[in-house]
Structure 1
């Protein structure tokens, strides 16, 4: 029975990850319209500035506070942090439906980033309860749930905005987050010895980071996470304009723009568990390096396509390789991190993810004026190739160093 508990945890948390990501992404399609219609903003530039600030606010505070929650998870347990985050986000998201001014939304999004952390807590809990020979499969499966939510969230958000209006979506989203948290509370089990954890001296966040960085693989893996997200998101803000350039202003432009945005997530969702299972057989490092190189290859042709159909093909293939990136990084972090610092290491990785989410679109938007979106595709591809080459050398050097050290002692 205990041997199968990890499967129950994985199933529940995959579903919870889906509901959390779907709820968080529901606001994406209508945020600008919400500011126009419900808050009375009329200037396009003002709407754009507020929408950008409100969307980014969550990532800024999440980047800052994730390491603190990781430290507390190592002290009090991962499930406690999972529930803290889930129920907290449920309340804050529902309150967004009562906002009267743009700064209300901004403040609530910042507060949401402060309490956020369901996904890293779920990753940490799954990694701690899953047999080590199934970690790759578990990480891929967990990501597929979140990816599915990220894909379907904007779709459902757009449908609901047309049928029930904007404000009720926040109440619905809050209810989904509450449901995910309640299911996790009832069904997820964690063997965590609080008394033993309390006896261990807990270092501060900065000191804890220094202790983790002593582990040779950790700085490499945290940097890889940042570079992956940075590369993936650099071209994203201009993707609808690129679709318009390829397709023209003909009918179904919005449909094709949405399809291009979601097809990568669809293939990612399908391939993540498959590549995770394969990494359990041949090694996470190999899958990570193959996926980095493959993603780089699939980015570059996107700069030279002549139709939306060709773009869809390469975006689909890109998603296949993306399915082997973050899950294998998570598996490698679990492999190299001491048991009493697992949550903290995943929280720092979550901060690296948030940093890439913040800087990728900003830098991509700035570079687009110089090199165009076609240049951004080439830029992202080259950056992923460089990351692959650097990771190959860095991980090999650290593995060799670890072997030499073991022989010495």
Structure 2
């Protein structure tokens, strides 16, 4: 088997285990705070849960560019091992938390040492033949999406079977095994002496050097808008289902089903859209998926029951599957030579920023325009994104070729 295929398979499993581990605690976080960490007031539990969940993204947003800089100097594989082993230890320590503040600090630390995903993307980008890059990026994305879908389900099942604390131990052990596979199977050609001989610049100077490329600046903003449009209504879907079908008694089940429908279609579509992008061009796939996503948000705002919403969310996932991996493909195409991993890390910080501000903004805005109004705003943002892609990538690219 060719080495780039071995890398892709191992990192697919790595993405799956890391993302499932990150999302496995979602179904029982509030229960863990209540039963194991001594909280009883519902309002206090909600506040702690919000801070604990978002803390990981806040520190990831701040530290990803630093790891990207070090990755371009010392190699992507080294950053994968650093992040993987570090997260495995921190996850196990979460099972020993004795108070909410312990869990909060460990989540903050987890965000600091994270970076497995951008390092995976950068390594696959550097080791995959260019005519297979779209397929590889789509496949890698499907691993993360599969983990995001199955993580909460696995966490919910294990919580009932073995208790909350043991889930952290199992998650840490799984990430450790995935990192060991990376250590012994994944390979990259990286000349550390040559990379170290290059002039070293600060994180801020690196950002200035990267965003001076107009296509990369556009892709960063597109990433932020995609994340904002997708995440702002996400946490409110259970309330929206309750509005659509107030007679439902198993609300949590249907909320999970609707969320899983999007993730499932995303996972299925990502490799296919990536392969098509290798033929017709990543810019065109990005444009098609942005306009398709915009159209898919409209029936969500007009849904009359949970089944209409589920169908619309499944259709949305088909187009979402072509967004993040296509952006990663284009970042690899336009990033300055020798700064690929740093570019991916800045983009990962942009995703983390969207994960922090989108749910908060969505909660405030929905109070004025309703939850269905958020879907309309998301549709408009995706539409504007498509226009931006047309002028900043497709139109400028055709002018450059001319």
Residue 352 (structure 1) aligned to one of 336, 350, 353: 350
- Structure 1 Cα separation of the partners of residues 349 and 161 of structure 2: 36
Structure 1 position 386, deviation (Å): 1.1
For 1:6-17, list aligned pairs within 5 A: 6-17=4-15
For 1:146-225, list aligned pairs within 5 A: 146-225=144-223
Q: Which residue of 1 aligns with 2:79?
A: 81
- Structure 2 Cα separation of the partners of residues 136 and 202 of structure 1: 31
Q: Which residue of 1 aligns with 2:324?
A: 326
Preserved contact between residue 264 and residue 315 of structure 1 (Cα < 8 Å): yes
Q: Which residue of 2 aligns with 1:226?
A: 224
Summarize deviations over 1:179-225 as a string: whole Å, max 9, x none.
11111111101111111111111211000011111212110001111
Preserved contact between residue 247 and residue 253 of structure 1 (Cα < 8 Å): no
Structure 1 position 104, deviation (Å): 0.7
Structure 1 residue matching 2:370: 3-state secondary structure: helix
Preserved contact between residue 215 and residue 336 of structure 1 (Cα < 8 Å): yes
Q: Which residue of 2 aligns with 1:374?
A: 372
- Structure 1 Cα separation of the partners of residues 198 and 48 of structure 2: 45
For 1:202-351, list aligned pairs within 5 A: 202-351=200-349
Structure 2 residue matching 1:42: 3-state secondary structure: coil
Computed over aligned residues only, the root mean square deviation of the Cα atoms, in angstroms, reads 1.2
Structure 1 position 38, deviation (Å): 1.1
Preserved contact between residue 90 and residue 173 of structure 1 (Cα < 8 Å): yes
- Structure 1 Cα separation of the partners of residues 17 and 158 of structure 2: 16
- Structure 2 Cα separation of the partners of residues 325 and 293 of structure 1: 11
Q: Which residue of 2 aligns with 1:388?
A: 386
Q: Which residue of 2 aligns with 1:139?
A: 137
Residue 362 (structure 2) aligned to one of 352, 364, 384: 364
Q: Which residue of 1 aligns with 2:27?
A: 29
Structure 1 position 393, deviation (Å): 1.3
Structure 1 position 45, deviation (Å): 1.2
Preserved contact between residue 135 and residue 280 of structure 1 (Cα < 8 Å): yes
- Structure 1 Cα separation of the partners of residues 164 and 170 of structure 2: 10
Summarize deviations over 1:45-80 as a string: whole Å, max 9, x none.
111110000000000000000000000000000000
- Structure 2 Cα separation of the partners of residues 396 and 307 of structure 1: 39
Preserved contact between residue 294 and residue 318 of structure 1 (Cα < 8 Å): yes
For 1:107-126, list aligned pairs within 5 A: 107-126=105-124
- Structure 2 Cα separation of the partners of residues 321 and 128 of structure 1: 26
Structure 1 position 248, deviation (Å): 2.3
- Structure 2 Cα separation of the partners of residues 79 and 296 of structure 1: 37
- Structure 2 Cα separation of the partners of residues 118 and 390 of structure 1: 30
Summarize deviations over 1:132-176 as a string: whole Å, max 9, x none.
111110000000000000000000000011111111111111111
Q: Aligned residues, how many?
A: 402
Structure 1 position 403, deviation (Å): 4.5
Structure 2 residue matching 1:339: 3-state secondary structure: coil
TM-score by length of 1: 0.96
- Structure 1: stretches of 5+ with no match in the other structure: 405-409
Structure 2 residue matching 1:340: 3-state secondary structure: coil
Summarize deviations over 1:67-97 as a string: whole Å, max 9, x none.
0000000000000000100000000111011
Structure 1 position 304, deviation (Å): 1.1
Q: Is 106-115 or 381-390 further displaced after alignment?
A: 381-390
- Structure 2 Cα separation of the partners of residues 326 and 364 of structure 1: 21
- Structure 2 Cα separation of the partners of residues 91 and 333 of structure 1: 31
Structure 1 position 246, deviation (Å): 2.0
- Structure 1 Cα separation of the partners of residues 336 and 366 of structure 2: 42
Preserved contact between residue 85 and residue 175 of structure 2 (Cα < 8 Å): yes
Structure 2 residue matching 1:99: 3-state secondary structure: coil
TM-score by length of 2: 0.98
- Structure 2: stretches of 5+ with no match in the other structure: none
Summarize deviations over 1:247-268 as a string: whole Å, max 9, x none.
3243432221110011100000
- Structure 1 Cα separation of the partners of residues 251 and 65 of structure 2: 42
Preserved contact between residue 216 and residue 398 of structure 1 (Cα < 8 Å): no
